[in-house]
């Protein structure tokens, strides 16, 4: 009887498969050792109370901080030119020059009127008209009224100019002695105040920056995204070693009277199982009130 070849062949196949499986297992173990994981908990401590988990908060893993992404977006969108904006306004050349000199387009507000000099009021047509309108009816309280005759501008120019100069001197003295007489100028000037238009331009730029930063965060710098569970916990696995940021972008978590958002740096090495707590203490600092 011829010896059977089945047993040696089966043994060879078993050895081959065993070696292949061992190789796959070794490669898998090596790949696992080359990656890392991040687990985190998000919690907020209200001004009066204990720490509370932040549930259902979307958290994105980024290759760059969201703060830096916003700065990058801001640098890519030119700031509108105030000088060019001023030059488009339908105002007197004196007021245009004043805006350029003071680098402002605001002609309302308490501080604006308070800081106006008598010369600015007298020689900028819009300012003089507003000031005269609110004070002309106060002649009983000493507000000076003009005595010159506009017809003398041509007939008797020297006399006319002297009377105008005398009137300006009396008005200057009145303004200096009655600084509160400027207080309501901004109400008269409000209809021609261009600052709302300028603020709209600034707001549109801010919206563009915001949209661009969110787009870049969710595309070119995006790694992964998750959401916290009922205990405020979540995590990422299979991450390559490197430096990352746990960011809630512009979404706030809230507990009681406290709202926070995060943009927290995390560095992981091969095989790390990093654990992080996102709390009040590593939240994005609040901007001071203007």
pLDDT in tens, 206-253: 999 999 999 999 999 999 999 999 999 999 999 999 999 999 999 999
What's the rounded Cα separation, in Å, for the pair 207 and 78? 13
75 lies in the same domain as 199? yes
Query: 73-124, pLDDT tens digit by residue?
Result: 999 999 999 999 999 999 999 999 999 999 999 999 878 988 999 999 999 9
281 lies in the same domain as 223? yes
Q: Please state, in angstroms and as integers, the Cα–Cα distance from residue 256 to each residue in 54, 230, 252, 259, following that order.
A: 11, 17, 13, 8
pLDDT confidence of residue 9: 45
pLDDT confidence of residue 136: 84
263 lies in the same domain as 274? yes
Q: Please state, in angstroms and as integers, the Cα–Cα distance from residue 253 to each residue in 56, 248, 277, following that order.
A: 9, 9, 14
Find the domain containing 65 and state its range.
51-79+195-290
Helix (H, G, I), strand (E, B) or coil at 219: coil
Beta bridge partners of 242: 268
Is residue 290 scored above 90 in pLDDT?
no
Residue 34 lies in a domain: no
Residue that is last in its domain, among 176, 193, 210: 193
* Total domains present in the chain: 2
253 lies in the same domain as 264? yes
CB 217 within 8 A of CB 66: yes
Which pTM does this prediction carry?
0.74
Residue 46 lies in a domain: no
221 lies in the same domain as 241? yes
Q: Please state, in angstroms and as integers, the Cα–Cα distance from residue 278 to each residue in 106, 211, 230, 241, 283, following that order.
A: 42, 25, 15, 21, 7
pLDDT confidence of residue 151: 85
Which residue in this structure is represented by tokens 């800081």? 115
């Amino acid at each position: 009887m011829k010896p059977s070849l089945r047993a040696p062949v089966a043994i060879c196949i078993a050895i081959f498969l065993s070696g292949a499986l061992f190789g796959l297992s070794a490669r898998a173990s090596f790949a696992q050792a080359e990656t890392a994981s991040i687990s985190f908990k998000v919690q907020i401590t209200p001004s009066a109370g204990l720490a509370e988990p932040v549930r259902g908060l979307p958290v994105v893993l980024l290759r760059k901080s969201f703060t830096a992404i916003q700065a990058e977006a801001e640098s890519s969108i030119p700031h509108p030119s105030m000088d060019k904006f001023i030059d488009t306004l339908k105002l007197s050349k004196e007021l245009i020059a004043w805006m350029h000199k003071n680098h402002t387009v605001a002609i309302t507000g308490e501080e604006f009127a308070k800081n106006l000099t008598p010369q600015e009021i007298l020689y900028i047509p819009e300012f003089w008209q507003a000031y005269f309108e609110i004070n002309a009816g106060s002649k009983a309280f000493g507000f000076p009224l003009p005595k010159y005759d506009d017809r003398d501008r041509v007939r008797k120019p020297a006399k006319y100019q002297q009377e105008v100069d005398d009137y300006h001197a009396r008005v200057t003295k009145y303004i200096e002695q009655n600084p509160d007489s400027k207080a309501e100028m901004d109400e008269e000037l409000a209809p021609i105040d261009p600052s709302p238009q300028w603020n709209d331009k600034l707001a549109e730029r801010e919206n563009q920056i915001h949209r661009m930063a969110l787009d870049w965060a969710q595309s070119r710098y995006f790694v992964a995204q998750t959401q916290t569970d009922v205990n405020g916990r979540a995590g990422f696995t299979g991450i390559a070693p490197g430096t990352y940021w746990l960011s809630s972008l512009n979404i706030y978590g809230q507990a009681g009277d406290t709202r926070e958002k995060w943009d927290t740096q995390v560095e992981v090495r091969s095989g790390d199982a990093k654990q992080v707590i996102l709390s009040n203490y590593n939240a994005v600092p609040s901007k001071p009130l203007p």
